[in-house]
Structure 1
Amino acid sequence: MRIALLGGTGDIGQGLVLRWSYDTDHELLVGSRDPEKARTKAEEYETELDSRGVDTDIKGFENAMAADRADVVVLAVPAYHLVDTVEAIADRLDDETILVTPAVGMKRDDAGFHYNRPGAGSVAALVEEAKPDDVPLVGAFHNLPAGGLSNLDREFEWDTLVFGDDDDAKDMVVDLAAEIEGLRPLDVGGLANAAEVEAVTPLLINVAQENDGLHDLGVRFQ
């Protein structure tokens, strides 16, 4: 499987690239608006993995080039760049490409972080409106602490909530998530449930910030 992480130079992109490279043999592509930045980060990831005895070949491309080569495209970009990113790669997607969004819209004030729900109803709904109609969309990886995910010395037992209206595409993302050691994907239904999933992230950040010993807080449902 060839997986492109657009925004793969950022926090959540880095964590997913490292974990999939460490735990699986999928081909990973790092995407960025700046192809040189993508190539540099890909080399850094390879060096980190090589130091742990993992021989891998991670390539870096401009976002559209990465998307064009991938079976699964993860939009690991901030929510405010999502629509622009999707529009920039739209002609590189088709009905055999699975688009994945982990993005959450948040705002911050003196009280902490809050979910910034867009007028479309959810951040995922913005992607649904921007993408080509025949490209399936799945939401996943929203509530994961990027720092803990990127630290390959960190063992964890976390859940990731997965939603989408295309069952086959959702099943594929569930399988990909389950291949990351310690990560359990849980199906929470269709795209209509996106806002409830996205809203968990600012809650977790607030809990982590207000309580000692809960840095890089994940969630497990029992």
Structure 2
Amino acid sequence: MDIALLGGTGDIGEGLALRWAYDSPHDVIVGSRDADRAANKAEEYETELDSRGVEVSIDGLANEEAAARADVVVAAVPAYHLTDTVEAVADELEPTDVLVSPAVGMKRDEAGFHYNRPGAGSVTQLAAGAAPEDVPVVGAFHNLAAGRLANLDVTFDWDTVVVGDDGDAKATVMELAESIDGLRALDGGPLENAAEVEAVTPLLINVARHNDGMHDLGLEFR
């Protein structure tokens, strides 16, 4: 399966790109608004993986080209860039594709980080509003610590809650999630439940900030 990571040069994009290329047989495409930046990052990822004995080819392309090549498109961009990014690639998306949003809207004050719920109900629902009507949208990977995800020297036992209205699309994303070693996918129900999942991320950041030894905190449900 071809996976495009729009914004694949950023923190969460890097982590997902490296883990999928390292742990799974899927083909990874790094996307960016700047094609040269995407190509340079893709080369960096290849070098890192080669140092670990994994020879893979990772393409780096402009977001539109990356989306056109992929079966699953992950909009790994900050919430404030999400709508523009999805709209920019909308003509390249097909009904057989799956669009994934891991973005979380947050604001910060003296007390810490807080969920910034948009008028659409959730950031994932913002992505759905920007995508073509016939392209299924799934929310996943919201609560993953990007630093630990990108560090291939460390392991983890994390859960990611996956939400979506299209059962087949959700199953595809859950299978992709579980192709990453140490990651378990849990069904969180329809897209309407995305806000509850997204709101956990600022909680994790606040707990990590105020407790020693909890850097790069993740979730595991038992």
TM above 0.5, yes or no, is: yes
CA distance in 2, matches of 1:59, 1:130: 26
Equivalent residue number for residue 59 of structure 1: 59
CA distance in 2, matches of 1:37, 1:129: 28
> Match of 1:100, SS?
strand
Q: How far is 1:72 from its partner?
A: 0.2
Q: How does 1:26-37 map to 2 (within 5 A)?
A: 26-37=26-37
Equivalent residue number for residue 4 of structure 1: 4
The residue type equivalent to 1:120 in the other structure is A
What is the identity percentage for the equivalent residue pairs of Structure 1 and Structure 2?
A: 69
CA distance in 1, matches of 2:74, 2:127: 12
Equivalent residue number for residue 38 of structure 1: 38
CA distance in 1, matches of 2:188, 2:129: 21
Deviations, residues 127-158 of structure 1 (Å, cap 9, x unaligned): 11111000000000000000000000111000
Q: How does 1:133-212 map to 2 (within 5 A)?
A: 133-212=133-212
> Match of 1:91, SS?
helix
**Structure 2: any 5+ residue segments left out of the alignment?**
none
For the pair 1:79 / 2:84, whether they are aligned, the reply is no
TM-align CA RMSD = 0.4
Equivalent residue number for residue 130 of structure 1: 130
> Match of 1:28, SS?
strand
Equivalent residue number for residue 110 of structure 1: 110
> Match of 1:217, SS?
coil
Equivalent residue number for residue 120 of structure 2: 120
Q: How far is 1:19 from its partner?
A: 0.3
TM-score using structure 1 length: 0.99
Q: How far is 1:121 from its partner?
A: 0.8
> Match of 2:82, SS?
helix
CA distance in 1, matches of 2:200, 2:126: 18
CA distance in 2, matches of 1:146, 1:18: 11
> Match of 1:212, SS?
coil
Deviations, residues 77-111 of structure 1 (Å, cap 9, x unaligned): 00000000011000000101100000000000010
> Match of 1:9, SS?
coil
Q: In the comparison of the two structures, how many residue pairs are matched? A: 222
CA distance in 1, matches of 2:26, 2:121: 33
Q: How far is 1:2 from its partner?
A: 0.2
> Match of 1:84, SS?
helix
Equivalent residue number for residue 95 of structure 2: 95
Q: How far is 1:67 from its partner?
A: 0.1
Equivalent residue number for residue 18 of structure 2: 18
The residue type equivalent to 1:64 in the other structure is E
**Structure 1: any 5+ residue segments left out of the alignment?**
none
CA distance in 2, matches of 1:118, 1:31: 25
TM-score using structure 2 length: 0.99
The residue type equivalent to 2:196 in the other structure is E
The residue type equivalent to 1:183 in the other structure is L
Equivalent residue number for residue 48 of structure 1: 48
CA distance in 1, matches of 2:44, 2:54: 13
Following superposition, which runs of at least 4 residues in structure 1 exceed 2 angstroms of deviation?
none
Equivalent residue number for residue 213 of structure 1: 213
The residue type equivalent to 1:84 in the other structure is D
